[in-house]
Structure 1
């Protein structure tokens, strides 16, 4: 989920860093490959995807490790897999059961399903002679949340976020923050981190019953849902493009270019939304954890197209899948970019309720994830309603 500043085009200092982390070496995934890690006993494939994805390094503009993890698994469930010029991973699956895709006749349509691979980050802007690293945000960040957090640069360099001496809490601004990696000097720090390197939150996935907590649920939970839906989908009358997009957190960039090239008839983003069930002075969002996935009605990037809403809600009701309706007063998703492709595309969002978005402790419910998978699979097996 992108913040309002990013949907308005103020993408800040994000984008491709000028150098990879370290002296001429390519960054490596933070997490060990899945084959080298032990899966907890009884863990489902869906939760296994989520565990691996949330622990893989992938800030905006540097999604390579996430993309390769996904690609290695979805190739078995697609007819064609490719990477476009911006770095989006596009897995195409042709119609099954004899229905041909079309733009004017027949039940089959060209559908784009998007989930973004990138996560929010900090980018190194200056390293002083004592080895402290000045940073700026890549995507929406709150300096209050950042204070004291552990972060990880590509290659596994761990640091702690701290700040200059403050006159008071109101004095805490992004420009006051720095990252301490324990370096003895500027030269020592520059052997591990260079200007332009990015750091992401350092936090393992933890589970308490049905609740799962990790960094990067936004939007690795969406990626996991789409991957699992691909694995379960059998027959479909549609030509479906499953797109794992780049740079959503800095302005919906990957979805914009991918949808222009694919030119879908209909588009659906799979992303998180804020749960409004925590203690607040007023109830702003009527979405709760554990009550099922949400069908977005509106956010700051789009008003969901009536056709897509009827498709999503009608499918959920026909299949007996519990769902919620969501009106988010801020933020946006890839649907906001996809709806503006070429002459316009009917678009909507299948949302995963999430507490504490854009923090290292984003929380989702396993039942909501399963419901999102079931709804997405059922949608892709049905014809679209008429406008």
Structure 2
């Protein structure tokens, strides 16, 4: 799992530019599914054929990024966020572009207090000496992502892009472990989740699943003086009840809880007061889809150093594999 997480988080794949991470995932799952295809928007759809009802499993493969909007005469890059980025998560962080160009994010020297920093007075420094020099390395519209080495201590892994490559790893391992199911299963690695659940919206519309589960990361409440939340690292995957995008279908929540208890898998219940996941888009597709959500506890979401516990992912694999093997009956 550690090596899989390292490969996935090292791949470039901001929203709208998921080609590289898509090919990494394709290589990880080929031979374990009956069909792999890419739809019009760019979602990677892997199918395990069967005669039963369709079940959709979704994890988004895109990551947040910075898109270049302007290059000044001295070669400094102005940018806009691609997805939800906070100023404090950006200051003095290293980023890289698809072609390997590396830069550092900083802000104008005349700003004296960090509270006064906004995206509008920040820039990316790629070491260029002029606008022409910068243009030889990057172009307007190029997107940079966090550039952080992967690290692991006692099963806790830290890297950029754990949101949502940790969930992609969970689905990949579920694909490898699932031997049979009464369902026809669609594993969808979605695009552009960070821009508004776009890939999940089109994929769910096309697939028309009987039921679905979205897998993503979620906040924790286990760091010093954190906002109280009943989720912590290492205590098992979190079964979502509610977030800003979805009120989880009660039958799906109960199926997941029952499966966890049957298999003796520790789990947590998640109520997220902000944010959303692909589950929100899938649940509202066509006439509505009974949708559950499984979350991986993650510290420092949308920073350059997101932290997860491998054991939470592994327990999530067991839970999903068991549920799909036993079948979802609503």
**TM class, shorter-chain normalised?**
over 0.9
1:262 paired to 2:217: no
The answer to whether the Cα contact below 8 Å between 1:120 and 1:139 also exists between their aligned partners in 2 is yes
Question: How far did residue 230 of structure 1 move?
Answer: 0.3
Find the aligned partners of 1:50 and 1:383 in 2 and give their Cα distance. Answer: 28
Matched with 2:279 is 335
Find the aligned partners of 2:22 and 2:227 in 1 and give their Cα distance. Answer: 39
Matched with 1:91 is 46
Question: How far did residue 47 of structure 1 move?
Answer: 2.1
Matched with 2:37 is 82
Matched with 1:169 is 114
Q: Pick from 204, 217, 220 the counterpart of residue 272 of structure 1.
A: 217
Q: Kindly tell me: are residues 277 and 227 of structure 1, through their superposed partners in 2, closer, same or farther at Cα, counting changes over 3 Å?
A: same
The answer to whether the Cα contact below 8 Å between 2:221 and 2:227 also exists between their aligned partners in 1 is no
Report the TM-score when normalising by structure 2. 0.98
Find the aligned partners of 1:280 and 1:138 in 2 and give their Cα distance. Answer: 29
Counting only pairs closer than 5 Å after superposition, residues 71-220 of structure 1 correspond to structure 2 as: 71-95=26-50, 100-101=51-52, 109-164=53-108, 165-220=110-165
Q: Kindly tell me: are residues 193 and 63 of structure 1, through their superposed partners in 2, closer, same or farther at Cα, counting changes over 3 Å?
A: same
SS of the counterpart of 2:167? helix
The answer to whether the Cα contact below 8 Å between 1:310 and 1:385 also exists between their aligned partners in 2 is no
Q: Which has the larger displacement, 307-316 or 248-257?
A: 307-316
SS of the counterpart of 1:381? helix
Q: Describe the superposition over 1:88-108 as per-residue Cα deviations: whole angstroms up to 9, x where unpaired.
A: 00001013xxxx31xxxxxxx
Matched with 1:367 is 311
Q: Which has the larger displacement, 313-322 or 163-172?
A: 163-172
Question: How far did residue 281 of structure 1 move?
Answer: 5.8
Q: Which runs of 5+ in 1 are unaligned?
A: 1-45, 102-108
Matched with 2:291 is 347
Find the aligned partners of 1:121 and 1:169 in 2 and give their Cα distance. Answer: 21
The answer to whether the Cα contact below 8 Å between 1:119 and 1:218 also exists between their aligned partners in 2 is yes
Find the aligned partners of 1:281 and 1:79 in 2 and give their Cα distance. Answer: 45
Q: Describe the superposition over 1:268-307 as per-residue Cα deviations: whole angstroms up to 9, x where unpaired.
A: 1010000111112641x11000000000000000010011
Matched with 1:67 is 22
Find the aligned partners of 1:324 and 1:317 in 2 and give their Cα distance. Answer: 11
Find the aligned partners of 1:146 and 1:73 in 2 and give their Cα distance. Answer: 31
Q: Describe the superposition over 1:214-244 as per-residue Cα deviations: whole angstroms up to 9, x where unpaired.
A: 0000000000110011001101111000000
Q: List, as ranges, runs of 4+ consecutive aligned residues in structure 1 with deviation greater than 6 Å.
A: none
Find the aligned partners of 2:100 and 2:327 in 1 and give their Cα distance. Answer: 47
SS of the counterpart of 1:130? coil
Q: Describe the superposition over 1:233-270 as per-residue Cα deviations: whole angstroms up to 9, x where unpaired.
A: 10111100000000000100000000000000101101
Q: Describe the superposition over 1:174-211 as per-residue Cα deviations: whole angstroms up to 9, x where unpaired.
A: 11110000011110000010000000000011001110
SS of the counterpart of 1:241? strand
Find the aligned partners of 1:202 and 1:184 in 2 and give their Cα distance. Answer: 22
Matched with 1:318 is 262
Q: Which runs of 5+ in 2 are unaligned?
A: none
- Quote the RMSD (CA, aligned, Å): 0.9
SS of the counterpart of 1:287? coil
Matched with 1:26 is none
Find the aligned partners of 1:179 and 1:72 in 2 and give their Cα distance. Answer: 33
Matched with 1:48 is 3
Find the aligned partners of 2:246 and 2:14 in 1 and give their Cα distance. Answer: 24
Q: Pick from 278, 295, 300 the counterpart of residue 244 of structure 2.
A: 300
